Structure 1
Amino acid sequence: MYITRRLEFDAGHRIPDHKSQCRHLHGHRYAIEITLSGSVINKAGDAANGMVMDFSQVKSLAKEHLVDQWDHAFLAFAGDRAIVDFLGSLPDHKTVLLDRVPTAENLARIAFEQLDVVYRDTYGNQLQLERIRLYETPNCWADALRARLD
């Protein structure tokens, strides 16, 4: 069985080598969809009876391990020294340094890597992260799929 939970957050970024508008500092209202697979729990009296995982727990784990860190932050490639140095000069600025350029594709992959261990077999029901879909805009998104990450 597959379940999906969607969350939204706001963040800034730039694509330093882009030849058009994305090389400038800008932001997005991102949406992230977290798709998990697992067996439906069939245990009378269990709060998760009939579920793969309680959607509220999917949300709380995603917020704790990813969304709260990225929300209202600037997602910067550590190699983008001009921006990293500038952001470092701002007192208490919320900056997340990444080892990759913060494209939708890379952010989806980073999110998958960070959340994969968080959800793995949480309930003992073969729970596993299958897909992260990261929307940069309502019409543009990237999918990081377990089957395609290798």
Structure 2
Amino acid sequence: MLITRRLEFDAGHRIPDHQSQCRHLHGHRYAIEITLSGDVIEKDGDAANGMVMDFSQVKAIARKHVVDQWDHAFLAYAGDRAIVDFLAALPGHKTVILDRVPTAENLARIAFRILDAAYRDTYGNHLRLHCIRLYETPNCWADVISNTAD
């Protein structure tokens, strides 16, 4: 069985080597869809009876490990020294330093890596992260599916 929970967050970034507008500092209203696979729990008296996972728990884990970390932050590539150094000079600025350029594809890969470990076997029902879909805009997104994650 597959279940999906969608969350949204706002963040800034730039693509330093891009040849067009994306090389400038800008932001997006991102959306992330987390799809989990697992067995439906069939245990009388269990609060999760009839569920793969309680959707509120899907949300809580995603918020703790990704969404709250990235929301209203600037997502900066560690190799983009001009931006990293500039942001470091701003007292209290919420900056997340990434090991990859913050494209939709890379953000989806990073989120998958983080959340895969967080969800794995949470409910003891062979729970697995199946897919992360990260929307950069309503019309542009990247998918990472469990058999294609790196």
* Aligned twin of 2:36: 36
**Partner SS for 1:83:** helix
Cα drift, residue 149 of structure 1: 1.9
Cα shift readout 1:56-113 (whole Å, capped 9, x = no counterpart) = 0000000001100000000000000000000001000000000000000000000000
TM-score normalised to the size of structure 1? 0.99
* Aligned twin of 1:116: 116
How many pairs were matched up? 150
Preserved contact between residue 112 and residue 149 of structure 2 (Cα < 8 Å): no
Cα drift, residue 148 of structure 1: 1.2
Q: Tell me, in whole angstroms, the C-alpha distance in 2 between the residues paired with 1:96 and 1:32.
A: 17
**Partner SS for 2:118:** helix
Q: Which consecutive aligned stretches of 4+ in structure 1 deviate over 3 angstroms post-superposition?
A: none
* Aligned twin of 2:97: 97
Cα drift, residue 147 of structure 1: 1.2
Percent identical pairs in the alignment equals 81
Unaligned runs of 5+ in 2: none
**Partner SS for 1:136:** strand
* Aligned twin of 1:140: 140
- Within 5 Å, give how 1:78-93 maps onto structure 2: 78-93=78-93
Q: Tell me, in whole angstroms, the C-alpha distance in 1 between the residues paired with 2:4 and 2:54.
A: 11
Q: Tell me, in whole angstroms, the C-alpha distance in 2 between the residues paired with 1:53 and 1:18.
A: 40
Cα shift readout 1:99-135 (whole Å, capped 9, x = no counterpart) = 0000000000000000001000101100000100000
Q: Tell me, in whole angstroms, the C-alpha distance in 2 between the residues paired with 1:54 and 1:147.
A: 24
**Partner SS for 2:36:** strand
**Partner SS for 1:16:** coil
Q: Tell me, in whole angstroms, the C-alpha distance in 2 between the residues paired with 1:88 and 1:108.
A: 25
Unaligned runs of 5+ in 1: none
- Aligned CA RMSD, in angstroms, stands at 0.5
Q: Tell me, in whole angstroms, the C-alpha distance in 2 between the residues paired with 1:91 and 1:123.
A: 41
Q: Tell me, in whole angstroms, the C-alpha distance in 1 between the residues paired with 2:120 and 2:114.
A: 11
